[in-house]
Each structure stands twice: as structure tokens, then as C-alpha cells.
A and B are shown apart, each in its own frame.
Chain A
């Protein structure tokens, strides 16, 4: 690392690791419930486990993004973070909001709106938290010596993400309106501005790892985020097919969301091309695996598997079935989970000064978690397609169909065990690196 204040990133990554572990625990609770072993029903019924599982995902990813921003911005802007103390306050408040929300979900303290379950008073805390974060980032950036495209795209993604949180806080009496604006948050986050954040982090990693000229990388970064927005904004229409709005969305949503994989394809080709073009071969093999991995898996998970059920004729039958869970898992993992893990793998040696670049545990973490997640996706897919045919085409009762597909959740749990072992290896490495320290300063600046 080049700046002392970058060390704060470490603690955001540590929070990420903690929340990711908890997310997996709640995933298993749900998998067992699907198998017919809803043994924790009294303490953690399915709706609690589900809210905890998805909210933890959002918070660990956000914590990872924030950590990445605290690392990247000083280096890109050539300026220490303006206030490290405030960054720690922000970290603690993020952790507090997360913990209160999760505990609250066990006591019916929530809003009950998919992905936006956080109750209103806590929403305001989130707003204050994010404003503090953005304040630190923006002031650092504008007081800095340089404003690079990478840092601007990353910052733009973070600012838009904050703004788009607001439509989710408006109260509507009409369920259709509620749903309409909920997607402004959820869809425009994950298929819009979060891709800006991902693109910014990916560009930074590629510049550092491949040594390709910044101008080349940043030019393609613009093209990719351009494709993202052109397809993704109107692609919101795929959530509007069947919620009580007009049929124009069937056409608009169908066409533009079918274009969404292009942005991810661009990202994958871009990462691979830069890697092949790069003359400098960075010794951090593990960060390289995750960086290329995120570009490729996001194309498969978010791009192709999204396309698989985005056309209106298909979505008529798959909407609201386990097919969505299939796409959701590999998409979030590939596009956002892996980019955070890629960044942590890159940053840890620089923050701590220890160079565990090529460890077996590190590579095992990469392969086991990916194989596990692909297996889980297949299990969800098989269960989902069977559900669609038996329930939506043949017209069997929901409950009867669920019994028929229980066995796929056994497969899911087995694959999830592989995944968990991989994440366990990753966290073991994380702990082995130890704490960040000032001795790591400058010594490895060019890596």
C-alpha cells in the first residue's frame, strides 16, 4: 500500500468475512427446511432465515465495496483519506445497523418487502452511514492530485447506489406501485450501478495485475459501463411484465434485458484480453484467478442464466419459481461475491506485507467455492425446471410438487458443503495474513 489510511479497508474486509460466514449458516437452515427438516421453525422460521440470508449478502458485499473504495481512492487520487477516524465510526455504525436488523428479523421487526426488509428507522441510519462514507470518499477524491477514470466510475457507482436507495423508502398503498419502485432499488442496483462499482474495481485490479496501459483499460471500461446502462436501465422492464403495468414493458423489457449479457460478455472478453496483452506478470496468482474468475462467472451467472428466463414467454412460467433462485445464486456470486474476494486477495498482501501469493489453501478456496456454487446452481436449476413443468404446466398442487423436488435440495446441501469448505479456506487464509501494519508501506508499492 502507498497510504497509511488504506489500512482501514482491512476492517471492512474482516466484517465482510464475518457476515459471509453467517449468510452461509442461514442458507443451510433454508436448504434443510426445503428438504423437510424445518427443525428451527420456532426460532428461525423460513421467512426469517430468508430475510437474514439476503440482507447479509447485501451488507457483506457493501462492506466489501466500501473497503475496496477506501483502498482504491487514496491510491488513485494520490491523497490520504481525509478522516480515518470517521471511516472507523462509519464501519462500526454499519456493523451495528447490520446486527440490529438481523436480530430484529427474529422478532418480527421488519418491513416485509423482498430485499428491503430493513425497518424504516434503521433505513435512516443506513442513509446517514452511506452519506458519511460518500463524504469521506468524495472529499478525498476532490482534494487529491488526480481524478482518474477508474476512481470516477467507482465513485459514480457508489453515489448512484446511494441515491437509488431512496425510492425504496417511499410508502405506497398500492402493491403494484410498491413493486414498481422496489425494482428501482433492487434492479437498478444489481443490473446497473453495482456493475459500475464492479467495473471500477475490475479496472483497478487489471491495471495493477496485468500492467496494461491505463488509457487502454479505461477506454474499455467506458464501453462496458455504457453497455451496462444502455441494456440494464430499460432492462428493468423484465420485472414489470406481470405486476399490473402495461404490455409495452413486455417488448421493451424483453429486448433490452436480452441485451444485458452483452455487458457481461464485454467484461469477460476485456479481462481475458488484458491478461493476455499484459507484459507484467503479477506474482499474486490467487488475486489473478479471482479477477479472471469474476469476469467469466458473472457472464455465465448474471448474463447467460439471466437470459435463460428473461424473455416474456418463458418468464410467464418461470416467474416466481426456483428458476429465479438458480440465476440469483450464480449471478450474485460471479458478479459481486467474487469481485469482493478478488479485491481482498489482491489487497491483503499489500496491507499486511505478507506475500502468500501462491498458497495451496488459497487456490483450494477458489476452486472449491466455485465448484460448489456451480453445483448449487445446477441443483436449483433442476429443481426449478421440474417445478415449472409439474406446477405451472401440468397443474399439480404447489405442496405436492415440492415433495417431488425435495431430493434436489439434498444435492444442493452437498454442493453447499463444498462451497462452505472453499469459503472456510479463504477465511483461514484471511486470518493467517494477520493485521495490516505500517511496515507494509511502500515496500511493495508497485505490485
Chain B
């Protein structure tokens, strides 16, 4: 039967081995995959500024992006493709809560420039290769 010291070896050994594999895979992802899949060359100052605005207003507190965030408002990874620039700008520049289907968004009343930055960020994120996410609705007629 397993002794306490064998159990300890199982714990420490298992942890060290899996953590080493994890670090190796992470290193590979970050140095080889991320630059290509996210088109890092397109990360312009405007896109980065858009990311700042995205975070400053905690957009993830209602929406999801890359499928991450809250589930109160639509997933926005492909919003540029789905709605286009004019719609996004109208939503973030609105001085009254944007509520196309009843549910209210905070009225951010962004400036033209801020809105352009947000659009640039959302356009960039829409082009990231996400291994097929989000899937196309396969029961849609």
C-alpha cells in the first residue's frame, strides 16, 4: 500500500513535471503563436488606446470579448464585422443609454477620437485567429 513518503513524491514529482510542461507550452505559444495569430504588426497606438478605453470603462463587466467577461450584453469579438463602424460609434458616443432591445448600456458619450480608437481595437480583435470561435450557427435557416 502507498506510504506517506511515496504520496509526497507523487505530489512533488507530478507538480514539477506538469508545471515544466506548462511553462514550455506557454513559452511556445507566446513566442511563436501569439505574434502570428493576433497579427501583432497591426497593434497600432490607436488599437492600444482603444484597449485602454475598453478597460477604463470595464466593458468586460457586461460584454464578453474572446468569450471572456460578463453575460449581460453581446459578445463583441466579431462586432466590427457584424455591425460595422458607424453602429459601434453611435453606441459609444450616445449621450443617452443605448438600448436597442430594451437592455440599457451606460451612456459613455465618448468623443469622436475615443470612438475611433474603440473601433480600431474591435477591428483588430475581430481579425485574431481564434481556432474557429465563435462557431457559425449551424441550425440557422
Contact = CB atoms under 8 A, between A and B. Distances in A.
A223 B7 contact: yes
B128 A393 contact: no
The residue among A50, A180, A227 with the most chain B CB atoms within 10 A of its own CB is: A50
B29 A180 contact: yes
Contacts of A173: 43, 47-48, 51
A210 interface: no
A47 B34 CA distance: 29
Interface stretch (A71-79, A233-241, A347-355): A233-241
Contacts of B2: 219, 223
Contact of B106 (A47, A317, A391): A47
B66 A177 contact: no
A246 B37 contact: yes
Interface in A216-237: 218-220, 222-223, 225-227, 229-230, 233-234, 236-237
A299 to B, nearest CB: 20
B72 interface: yes
Contacts of B130: 242-244
A46 B72 contact: yes
A50 to B, nearest CB: 5
A244 B37 contact: yes
Contacts of A219: 2-4, 7
Contacts of A245: 29, 33-34, 37
Nearest to B65: A175
A222 B55 contact: no
B66 A244 contact: yes
A252 interface: yes
Contacts of A41: 97, 104, 106
Interface stretch (A80-88, A110-118, A411-419): A110-118
Nearest to B20: A233
Contacts of A93: none
B84 interface: no
A389 B62 CA distance: 21
A48 B65 CA distance: 18
For the residues of A in contact with B, the DSSP-based class is helix
A33 B61 CA distance: 13
Contacts of A317: 135
A36 B62 CA distance: 14
B71 A177 contact: no
A175 B122 CA distance: 11
Interface stretch (B10-18, B85-93, B112-120): B10-18
A226 B38 contact: no
Contacts of B64: 320
A206 to B, nearest CB: 15
B134 A174 contact: no
A234 B94 CA distance: 44
Interface stretch (A279-287, A289-297, A394-402, A437-445): A394-402
Contacts of A177: 30, 34
Given A51-B58, A176-B38, A241-B131, A45 B106 contact: yes
Contacts of A246: 28-29, 32-33, 37
A287 B23 CA distance: 40
B60 A400 contact: no
B139 A395 contact: yes
A175 B51 contact: yes
Interface string A95-121: 000000000010010111110010000
